[in-house]
Structure 1
Amino acid sequence: MATLVLKVSGVAFEDRPDLHGGQEDYARRLAASISELTAAGHNIALTIGGGSLARRSIDRARRLGLEPVRASYLGADAGLMNARIAIAALRGGGIPCSAEPITAFDAAAEAMRSGLTPVLFGYWHGLTSDAVAALFASYIAADLVVKLSQIDGVYPSDHEAKSGTNRHSCLPHRELAHLALEFDSRTPGASFVLDVVAAKSLADTKIPLLIDHWRHLNTLKSAIERAHSASFEEESGTIVRSD
């Protein structure tokens, strides 16, 4: 049994039937996975990114002359839509959850203590959904953060990520924080496997992080259960933890 913060890439919620059966299908599958995890005794908080819609909207607004702070709110708008879809799927699947996306950490923590699955969201300039997940994990002293990303783990380079070779099965927090510092541009809509605020927060709190692809819901439970084992050797995924 563990307390988990689950961050799901907004790309998973895009309505692209050619990739994964569409938004509704994925939302139902995610809800089923969360139901399986809660039935096993895990307590879960959920946050959803804005995906490529957020990045496209931010880029358009910037080109039209909107300043970065205001442009970043468009990304939050995309995340809010995804959060509401997630809540609909959870409620439709009979999973007790917050009726609305929750912005306050204390309210989300209280929801968890009441047996609900909170879906977090907020208009926090400079904080991505990655950072929200990491900071809330610190707030509740979570056992694990899980990020379901566009790639199935951490790779030494973009070329290796595209080819699926040399994936790190385990990585120290300090190394991921170094990579994030190097490759996360900290501009609205930028994308790295984990942003630098989240990476540094998790390194400071020593909360383990599991990164895997959003498609791998069928192996999510087993990966979570093995995340604290001495050796993490799954077919996909990277576990990040302290040395």
Structure 2
Amino acid sequence: MFDGLHSHRPWWQFTSLEELIIIIRDRVSAGDRIGLVIGGGAPAREGIDLARPLIDDVHHLDKIGIAATRLNATIVREVLSDAGVSVSGTIPRRVDEAVQLLESRPVVVMGGTTPGHTTDAVAIRFAIAASANRCIIATNVAKVYSEDPRNNPNANAFDKLTHDELQDIVGPDKHTIAGRSSVVGPVGVGEANRANMALNILDGRETNLIKAALEGNDFQGTIIFTERV
């Protein structure tokens, strides 16, 4: 079984790397293959904000964010390797490269790829290309909400949504602003919808939720599915 797992922010901001190692090691022992796509988090946003007054081209700003994701991915890869987890020896720069690496190692860690592709979209494309059972999005909110709960404490939380419903919440299927943060990137939602890829969205700060989702058990969060007529 293969699961794609995407963290919006570096793992060490959500939970200890030690807990991540235990989760990944247990799933590998159970015969799973796991693709980890690590987001840029605060380093990416801070770098982009620093350069934004001087750079107009969104693709150039994206490159700053991508560099941050690859640094974060390298940290996670090295920690996993040092702990004895059989992880790919390099950080792939393309999804097809990641899929190829997954044929020889049960764990592959990567960051961003090219401008215009958020790590949400990369994780979902990786999951689709590797025929994953699901793509798990570990973010910093408990569920998908009708609005940002930090701005509206009365926003509605959802246990289940269709891809179309999620697309309505996050916005049109296009990339326009570097460093923009949403529960799932709109381009990634569009990719998942077209491929009928199930998404599990959960609070990555709660290690037990990540473990439950990887094991295919019930978890507190939001399940995204496609309604086919």
TM-score (norm 1): 0.84
Match of 2:207 among 214, 217, 221: 217
Whether 1:29 aligns to 2:24 is no
Provide the residue aligned with 1:100 in structure 2. Answer: 90
Residues 60, 221 of structure 1: alpha-carbon distance in 2 compared, 3 angstrom cutoff: same
1:28-47 aligned within 5 A: 28-47=18-37
Residue of structure 1 equivalent to 2:197: 207
Segments of structure 1 that go 5 or more residues without pairing to the other structure are: 15-19
- 1:1-243 equivalences under 5 Å are 2-14=1-13, 26-65=16-55, 67-159=57-149, 163=153, 166-181=156-171, 186-226=176-216, 234=219, 236-243=220-227
Q: In structure 1, the residue corresponding to 2:107 is in which secondary structure?
A: coil
CA pair 182-197 structure 1, distance change in 2 beyond 3 A:
closer
Deviates more, 1:81-90 or 1:35-44: 35-44
Work out whether residues 173 and 187 of structure 2, in 8 Å CA contact, stay in contact via their aligned partners in 1. no
The answer on whether the counterparts of 1:184 and 1:191 sit within 8 Å (CA) in structure 2 is: no
When residues 125 and 180 of structure 1 are mapped into structure 2, their CA distance, relative to the original with a 3 A threshold, is same
Structure 1: which amino acid aligns with 2:52? R
Deviation at 1:165, TM superposition (A): 6.7
Q: Name the one with the larger helix percent.
A: 1
Unpaired runs of at least 5, structure 2: none
Go from structure 1 to structure 2 and tell me whether the alpha carbon gap of 1:173 and 1:183 turns closer, same or farther (over 3 Å shift). Answer: closer
Partner SS state of residue 52, structure 2: helix
Distance 1:163 1:89, change over 3 A: farther
Superposition CA RMSD, Å: 2.4
Amino acid at match of 2:103: R
**Number of corresponding residues:** 227
Name the SS for the 1:191 alignment partner.
coil
Helix, strand or coil for the counterpart of 2:161? Answer: strand
Q: In the aligned structure 1, how far is the partner of 2:57 from the partner of 2:44?
A: 15
Partner amino acid for 1:238?
T
What SS does the corresponding residue of 1:38 show, helix, strand or coil? helix
Q: State the distance in 2 between where 1:142 and 1:157 align.
A: 29
- What's the CA shift for 1:66? 5.2
Contact persistence 2:6–2:123 (CA under 8 A): yes
**Per-residue Cα deviation, 1:180-205 (whole angstroms, up to 9, x for no partner):** 22598730000110111100010111
Query: TM-score, normalised to structure 2's length?
Result: 0.89
- Give secondary structure in 1 for the equivalent of 2:3: strand
Residue 122 of structure 1: how far off its partner (Å)? 4.0
- Tell me if the contact between 2:95 and 2:125 (Cα under 8 Å) persists in the aligned partners: no
How far is the alpha carbon of 1:75 from its aligned partner? 0.7
Aligned partners of 2:39 and 2:111 also within 8 Å: no
- Matches of 2:153 and 2:32 in 1, distance apart? 34
Shift of 1:11: 4.6
Distance in 1, matches of 2:151 and 2:21, equals: 28
Q: Shift of the alpha carbon at 1:175?
A: 0.7
